[in-house]
Structure 1
Amino acid sequence: MFERYQDVLTHLPQYSKNIFRKGYFSWLLKQCLGWSYFSYFLLAFNFVLQIISLVQSFSQTPVQSILAFIGGNLSVACVLGISNLSGIQGWCGAISAICIAITGFMAGNFATAWEQIGYLIFLDIFCILDPKWNDDIQVEKFESGREWLLYGLFFFCAWGVTYFIFSLTSDPRVFLDSLNLAFAITGALLELNRKREQYYVFTIASVFTIALWAQTMLQGDGNFALIFSYSIFFLNDMYAFFGKGSWFRQEV
C-alpha cells in the first residue's frame, strides 16, 4: 500500500530533478491539452458557477469568497487532470489544497481543513515528484479481495481516529467532517497507487462533502463555491464510470 512513498522518499534527490528540468513549465501547459470534450465542458461550467458564487458572497466574506473561488476552480482542474492522466493535477491540487484548507479553518470545518493539508503533504507533493505520475501513468486495479479488505479496514480505522480527534475540538459538524476526512485519506492512498477503485471512494465522498458544505452554508459559515466544485467532481465520477477513455474504463 505504501510502496510509492518509500520509492519517492528514498530517491528524493533524483525525483526532485523532475521539477527543475528544462522546459518544465511548457510541459505543464501541454498537460492541459488533449483532454476529453466533456472535461473541458466541466472545467468551463464550473468556472461559471464559481463566478456566480463569488459575486453572491463577496460582499459578506470577501477573503473567504476569493479563496473558495481559487480553490474551487483549481480543485476541479486537479480532478479533471487525474481523469485525463495529466501530470498537471499535482500543482493544481497543491494550490487548491492551501486555499480550501484556509476556507475550512475559517468555516470551522477543521477535519476538512486538515484533509486538504494531508492532500498537500501526502499526495500532491508526491505526485509532483513521482515520475510515474508525470511521464508514464499506468492504471492498476485490485488483484484480490484482500486488497478490498485492507483498504476497507484502513478507511474505518481512519474514520475512528479522525472522529475521536475532532470531537475534542469545537467542530460543529464533526460526524460529516471526520467522515469526509476518512474518505479523503483512503482515496488519496488509492490515487497515489494509481488504483482505479479510487473512483468508488471519491464518488461516495463527493456526496457526503456536498452535504457537509450545504449544511455549512445553511449555518452561515460558507458559500456555494465548494458545493459547486464537489458537484462537478460527482459528474466527473459518473463520466468515469460510464464514459469512454477514462481511468476507470481502461483495460488493465
Structure 2
Amino acid sequence: MFDRYVDVLTNLPKYSKNVFRKNYFSWLFNQCRGWGRFSYGLLIFNFVLQVISLVQSFNAAPLQSGLSFIGGNLSVACVIGISNRSGIQGWAGAFSAICIASVGFMAGNFATAWEQIGYLLFLDFFCILDPKWNDNIQAEKFENLREWLYYIIFFVLAWGVIYYIFSLTSDPRVFLDSLNLAMAITGSLLELNRKREQYFVWTISSVFTIALWIQTMLQGDGNFALIFSYSVFFLNDMYAFFSTRGWFRTSHQI
C-alpha cells in the first residue's frame, strides 16, 4: 500500500535527479502540450473567472485576493494536469496548496488549510520527485457492498474526530470545514488503494467545498476565486464521468 512512498523516501538522491537535471524546465513546459481542447478551454475559462474575482476583491483584501488568484489558477492547472497525466501536476499542486492553505488560515477555515498541507506533503512532493507517479495505475471497482460500508464508516468516524478537534478552535464554519477534510482523507485513502469509486467522493467534495467558500464569502472572509476554481473542478469531474475518454469508459485512472 505504501510501496511508492517508501521507494522515493529511501532513494531520495536518485529521485532528486529528476528535478536537478539538464533541460528540466523545458521538459516541464512541454508537459503542458498535447492536452485536449476541453482541458485548455477549462484553463482559459477559469483564468477569466479568476481575473474577474481579483478585480472585484483586490482593493478590500489585496493579499488574500492575490493568493486566491494564484491558488485558484494553479489548482485548476494541477487537476487538469492529473487528468492529462502531466508532470506539471506536482509543482502546480504544491504552489496552489501553499496559496490555498494561506487563504484558509486567513479566513479561519483551518481544516481546509490543513487539508492543503496534507496534499503538499503526501501528494505534490512525491509527484515532483517521481514524474511517473501516476503511470500504469489500474483502477479497481468495489467488489461488494461491504467495501462501501467500510469506507462510509471510516468517513463518519473521521468526520466526528475532525469536527471535535476543530470545534475547539475559532473556526467559524466548523461543520462544512471538517466535512471537507473528512471527505479529502476518505478520497485520498480510496486513491491510495486505487479504487475507482474515489471519483464519487471527489465530485461530492467539490460541491461541499463550493458551499464552504460561498459561506466564507458571504460572511466577509473570502471572495469568488476559490468558488470559481472548485466549480471548474466539478466541470472536470463531469467530463470525466461522461466523456468517451473519461473515468468510467477506461480501465485506468485519468
Shared fold (TM-score, shorter chain, > 0.5): yes
- Assess, with a 3 A threshold, how the Cα gap between structure 1 residues 43 and 113 changes in structure 2: closer, same or farther: same
Deviation at 1:230, TM superposition (A): 0.4
Which deviations, in whole Å up to 9, do the C-alpha atoms of 1:127-166 show, x marking residues without a partner?
Answer: 22235326x3434223634654554444333322211110
- Equivalent residues of 1:98, 1:117 under 8 A apart: yes
Quote the offset at 1:192 in angstroms: 4.9
Q: Percent of aligned positions with the same letter in both sequences?
A: 77
- Residue 161 of structure 2 is matched in structure 1 by 161
Deviates more, 1:72-81 or 1:197-206: 197-206
The 10-residue stretch of structure 1 (65-74 or 11-20) with the greater mean CA deviation from structure 2: 11-20
Partner of 2:10 in structure 1?
Answer: 10
Name the SS of the counterpart of 1:27 in structure 2. Answer: helix
Q: For residues 156-178 of structure 1, what are the alpha-carbon distances to aligned partners after superposition, in whole Å with 9 as ceiling and x for unaligned?
A: 33322211110110101101001
For 1:133, what is the secondary structure of its paired residue?
Answer: coil
Separation in 1, partners of 2:206, 2:103: 18
Q: Is the 8 A contact 2:180 2:205 kept in 1?
A: yes
CA gap of 1:101–1:77, structure 2 versus 1, over 3 A, is same
Q: Which moved more, 1:77-86 or 1:11-20?
A: 11-20
For the Cα contact (< 8 Å) 2:142–2:197, is it kept in 1? no
CA contact (8 A) 2:16 2:129 kept: yes
Deviations 1:8-59 (A, max 9, x none): 3233332222222332222211111111111111110000000000000001
Please say which of residues 185-194 and 14-23 is displaced more in the overlay. 185-194
User: CA RMSD for the aligned pairs?
Assistant: 2.0
The change in CA–CA distance for 1:155 and 1:87 in structure 2 (over 3 A counts) is farther
TM normalised by structure 1 equals 0.91
CA distance in 1: counterparts of 2:25 and 2:157, whole angstroms: 40
Structure 1 segment 11-160 matched on structure 2, within 5 A: 11-133=11-133, 136-142=135-141, 144-145=143-144, 148-160=148-160
Q: Secondary structure at the match of 1:33?
A: coil
Paired residues of 1:139 and 1:250 also in contact (CA < 8 A): no
Match of 2:223? Answer: 223
Judging changes above 3 Å, is the alpha-carbon distance between structure 1 residues 194 and 18 closer, same or farther for their aligned structure 2 residues?
Answer: farther
Q: Aligned to 2:207, what secondary structure does the other structure show?
A: helix
Which consecutive residues of structure 1, in runs of 5 or more, have no partner in the other structure? Answer: none
Unaligned runs of 5+ in 2: none
TM-score w.r.t. the length of structure 2 is: 0.91
Cα distance change on mapping 1:187 and 1:21 into 2, 3 Å: farther
Whether contact under 8 Å (1:127, 1:133) holds in the other structure is: yes
Aligned-partner SS, 1:86 = coil
Q: Does structure 1 conserve the Cα–Cα contact (< 8 Å) formed by 2:28 and 2:88?
A: yes
8 Å contact kept, 1:199–1:248: no
* C-alpha distance in structure 1 between counterparts of 2:81 and 2:131, whole Å: 16
In 2, Cα distance between the equivalents of 1:99 and 1:178?
Answer: 19
Taking the aligned partners of 1:138 and 1:244, their CA distance within structure 2 comes to 19
Task: Report how far residue 68 of structure 1 moved.
Answer: 0.1
- Rounded to whole Å, the distance in 2 between the matches of 1:127 and 1:148 is 28
